[in-house]
Amino acid sequence: MFCKCGSIMMPKKENGRIVVRCAKCGHEQKGNVELKEKGAKNEEIVVIEKEIETHPVVDAVCPKCGNDKAYFWTRQTRASDEPETKFYKCAKCRHIWRDYS
């Protein structure tokens, strides 16, 4: 609920009753006040156990299984004046290796 001054009116318990008062100007709502909370229905959360890969696929030969497709990403693992480290993850066997060049 909003006050006539535009501020939000907050409910407080005083002497066993609920009073709605403006924190800015002190205006108080007269009459009976009933507070109700609206909440979302308790929806069931679905857990997906399948791993979803979000990195792009590039042509790179896996040193472990020889597959020619791998996921690719970069990280700055050394000083900022050094080049980024390239990481690859085989699309077939999930082996991860890095390229420092």
Catalytic residue among 49, 82, 84, 99: 82
CA 98 to chain centre: 28
User: Encoding tokens for residue 14?
Assistant: 């005083």
Catalytic residue at 68?
no
Catalytic residue among 49, 81, 84, 99: 81
Catalytic residue at 81?
yes
Q: Give CA–CA dist 63/95, Å, rounded.
A: 9
Sign of CA dihedral 39, 40, 45, 51: negative
Which are the catalytic amino acids?
81-82
